[in-house]
Every structure is written in C-alpha cells, then in structure tokens.
Amino acid sequence: MLQGLFDEDGGDGESYYQGTTNTSSKSTVEKPLSPRNETNLCGLQNQGATCYLNALIQTLLFIPEFREPLFSLSAKDLNLPLNSTDSSQTPSSGSTLKVRKIIVELQRLFAEMLLLNQQACSSIRLTDSFGWQSNETFDHQDVHELNRLLFDAIQKSLQGTKQSNLIRSCYEGSTINYTQCKQCQRIFKRIEDYQDLPLVVQDSPNLHTSLANMFTLHEKLVGDNQYRCSSCANMLCDAEKWAKISKLPPILTFPLQRFVYDIKTGNRLKKTTRYEFPFDIDLKEFCEDSVIETNYELFAVVIHKGTCYSGHYYGYIKDIDQIGCWIRPPPPSSPAAKSSNKQKTSNTRNGSTSNNNSRTNRNSNQTDPVETDEEIMKKIDLIRTILLSCDDWTTIDDLFKTYRDNTTVPRGRTRGSNGAFTKFLRNYPEVFHVDDKRVRLVEQMDIDENEITDMDHETLQIDKSLINNYENDEYWFCFDDSIVTCVTRQHIQRHYGLNDCAYMLFYRLKNHRNKNGSFMDCSDTIYSIPQWLIDEITEKNKILEEKREIYEKYQNQLPVTIYPSEWFEVIDGCRLNLNNNNQVLFPDQYGEHIFDKRTKLNEFILNFEV
C-alpha cells in the first residue's frame, strides 16, 4: 500500500470540496459539508480505512514544535511555481527541481484543519502525494509502521530545506547499550538512535514496569548465550548487559506491543489485559546522569478497537495551544451500568424470541456452513470498519455490496439474497442498530436509548462556568475521523482495561512550551500559516458559505399556486369545484410562486394581497 511513498512527482490533487448529494425527490441541490461543531476543531474524512492515518495527522497538527517549523517553509522553499499553488506543476521550464509535494500537501491540510469552516477535511491530496492508489486506502494498516514510514517520507522531502532536521529535532533520542565481560571486566558501549521506544505489554501492568524491564534490569549472558569478548581473544565469556537512555527528545513516542504470536495455536493475539499509563512521568531513573530534563506529560493516545486482524483507530489529544473550544462533557458512564442496561434488553429480547431462535438455528445448521467464533469476530470487525467510514446511516444493500467486495470469504458463501446478511446484523444489536433498510453502529448514536430515561434534563445543559476549564482537564479532545468531541481524563483512564485499548502513547517535555512560556492564541496560529494558504482557504470558506446559503434557501422553498376565486364554485355549501371555463393562463399576480418557509406569517399574507 505504501509503494511510492517517497516519490515526489506525479499525480494531480483532488478538489478540496466534497459534497454529498441529497437523493430525495425534493432536492436537486448538492448538500455542502457541515460547518464545525461547538469544539471549533476539524476532523478528517475516512477514505475507506484510513483511520490510522487520520489519528497520526491529528497528533502531528497539535505539536507546535512540528507544525510551526513546517509552516515556516515558504513557497520558494518548496519549489512551488510562481503565482501557483498546484503542487503537480513544475517550477519553471527546464528546471530540474521538483515540487516538494508531501510537504506542500501537509501544509495545505494543516491549514485547512485550522481555518476551513467544515466538520471534516479530506486527506486525498496528501495520500495522492504519497503515491497511494484509491483502492489502497481501504486496506487496514498498522499505525506504528505507518508512523515510521511517514516520518521517513517527510524527512526525505525536507532534505535541502532549512527544516531538514525537523523530524530528528522533535522525535529523535538515543540509548546506550552496555555489555560487561565478567572475565576481563571491560565494559563495551553501543549507541543507538531511536524515534520511538516500543514497549512490551505482556506481563507488564503499567508503563513504569515496561520501562524498568528495558532500562533497569540487567540481563546475564551465560551458557548458550555467552558473549564473544574482543578483549579476551574473541573467547565466549559470561557477561552482563543493560541499557540506559542517553538522550530524550521533545516528543517521546511509546508504541505498545499489543499483538503477539501464540506458538501453540499458530495465531496472532491481541493483548487487552489492564495496562496503566500516567499523565505525568519522571524518566530520571531510566536515563544517564547527563540527561537533565526528564519530566514528561501525556499529550496524545492512539486507541485501537478490534482484533489483531482488523479494527479501528482513533485518538485522544491534548490541545496545549488552546486552539479549540473545550466544554466539559458529562462523565463517562461505567461499563457495569452499560452492561446492566444491555443485559436487561437482551434478557427481554431473548425471553420473547428464544423458541424462534432455537428453531431458526436448527434450520440454519442444516443448510449454512458453520462459522467459528473467530470467523464471526472477523466478520463483525470488517463490517464495523466499513460502517465507521460512513457518517451515520447506510443502506443494508450498499453495506452488503461493500462487504462482498472486501471479504476474503469465497464468493459462494455470500452469493444470493442479502437476507441472511441482514439477519446476521440483527443478531448483534449491541453492535449494529438496524432499521427497516438501514444500519449504523450503536457507538455512533449520540445517546444510548437505554440510558435516555435515566438522564436528568439538567445534566444535558451546558454549564458556562465549566467552559475552558483548562486547569482540571487540560483541553482533551477525542478525534474519531470526522467526529471531534470534548473528553476528560476519566474518558482516557477507562481504556486502561477495555478492549478499546491504548496502542501508542505520545509524551512531551513538560517545560517545552513556546519561547515566552505561554500558551498559543489561535490568532498567532493564523499568522504562522503562509499567506498563500490563508488566501486560498479564505476563498474556500467564501465558496462554502455561499453553497450553504443556496442549499438552505432551496431547502426552505415553499411552492404555492394561487388561483383566482372566480375559478371556483361552491357546491352544497362545503365543496369547491374548479370551473375556470377552460382558461389556461393565469391572470397577473396569480399562478405559481416560490416563498421562503422562514417568512413570518404577516409578511407571507402581505405577499398574497392583490
């Protein structure tokens, strides 16, 4: 999927605007994308299965040490043609310089995410700059692997610019591996650079234990694992090895190794055992004495939901620059309460349909191939991945077609009517909300139907005194593709022990703020964006606003036909009969008129006065 990631030429960008057409018979006007919600932050559209990319891009945007130097590169630095912002053009006739497409499109996407007034931006132009094909965006990828490849691509694209060391300056640190020969007592050192530190989750209850296993425990090299010492005539000797961190970067990344290989079964497994990580950590005990700044704070968490074969990524990010508008959300409901509600519903449903289900299962076992639990889980995960790329409802027919196009199950197993597919969806009401001919994920519903009756009206009201309460919850937001919501630390801590567990942790040096030590105001962010991008997005916002006004006006059109009263006669004192003596043309001020439904009643009546 990542073939051509490092290529800097070829491919035209797509239009920034992607509207959805209202398919109802009433409207023929294209519906524009919705504006931002109350958070004033922008999500990213899912191109099929690009949730892993969306989570990483959002994380990069909220790192000022990365974002601001990226914006400092001018059009000239990026070899853009004069008076043009099309990254697919060559700088000038005969020039051998190539446009730095990846950086141009990353700048453009960052600027749109900061300034463009729509709920979600498209990353198509950025993935095009990587050389991805349209069908490749539906392949599910590992976010850790993509993170390294993305950094390599950005690093190569920045070569020759004043920000050529941007990735290294933000993310690169180093460790020292020590090996001491027990025969001659000589200590050998080997320095290794890193951009992230993968941590083992298995048999580790928390982040501190995983780090201690890497940087405080000493491993003995004895028996079949002896060390060949160069100072002892290359003899095999008993030895001891350990490691220490010798350099810490401003941004420290911990990929958590959740996926393991089971030798007994020959299958990959996802470790979802409870694993805690602190919001503040001091790494001094894991570092060399020469490392001074060791205090870090958590600022981003990438969550993985699903199995080791498929799933969905989303992220929690701390808005350290206060770019968005944080409003305290209601506290997360406990898993026990949700389970109780679901169990009540399940018991009611099972009590009324148990006989039918048992009879149906017996008939099904006689005709359909038996699916194992693992096959069922894979099937649910694939359907969830497809539905997560949809904003809300989708038809079962469209879902079934997409499922067949992307399943590895033999065609004969899915041939025929989609009735069995609909039945499968209805068998998992805790995952899928099935309507007459539509379906969506239960998790995409704004409020759990089982909890509505238990919620007091006052808990739904926004307490203005809690707006922008940075001191308590530090501007945490959840970025789930196109949806952005406010969260607190409680929401993040729930993932210590859930199947939706942390997959990557991002920490930053505590005192690594702006030069003046203050938080960034949004207006400062605007001025750090290149002027050509500000002009471009200003024009896009203008076009979006015009489209929304046109669409809103069209949706509120009220067609009214006015007939002259003399064309009618009253029959039996209660029934009107049209008797226009074969007149075809309406007199002046009569006939068809279009009115705005938002017009006040008295103004509406005045328009009818003749």
| Active-site amino acid positions | 51, 312
In angstroms, the CA 98 to CA 243 distance is: 43
Residue 535, token pair as written in the block? 């002009």
In whole angstroms, give the CA distance from residue 70 to residue 64.
9
Q: Is 100 exposed, middle or buried (0-12, 13-18, 19+ CB in 10 A)?
A: buried
Contact 418, 400 (CB under 8 A): yes
Which regions of 5-87 does DSSP assign to beta strands (E)? Answer: 20-21, 30-31, 43-44
Q: Could you tell me if 99 and 78 are in contact, meaning their C-beta atoms sit under 8 angstroms apart? A: yes
* Of residues 314, 251, 328, 337, the one with CA closest to residue 495: 314
Residue identified by tokens 């692997």 is: 145
Gap between the Cα atoms of 166 and 162, Å rounded: 9
Closest CA to 57 of 307, 317, 251, 248: 317
The span from the CA of 475 to the CA of 169, in Å, is 26
Q: Check the CA dihedral 66-69-75-77 and report its sign.
A: negative
Cα-based distances in Å from 59 to 6, 160, 251, 301, 320:
21, 25, 11, 9, 12
Residues 6 or more apart whose CB falls under 8 angstroms from that of 48 comprise: 137, 138, 389
Q: How far apart are CA 609 and CA 414, in angstroms?
A: 63
Question: Would you say 363 and 408 are in contact if contact means Cβ atoms under 8 Å apart?
Answer: no
205-244 burial, b for 16+ CB within 10 Å, e for fewer? eebbbbbeebbeeeeebeeeebbebeeeeeeebbbbbebb
> 73 near 103, Cβ under 8 Å?
yes
Report angle CA 386, 388, 389 to the nearest 5 degrees: 70
Decide: 332 and 494 in contact? Cβ < 8 Å: yes
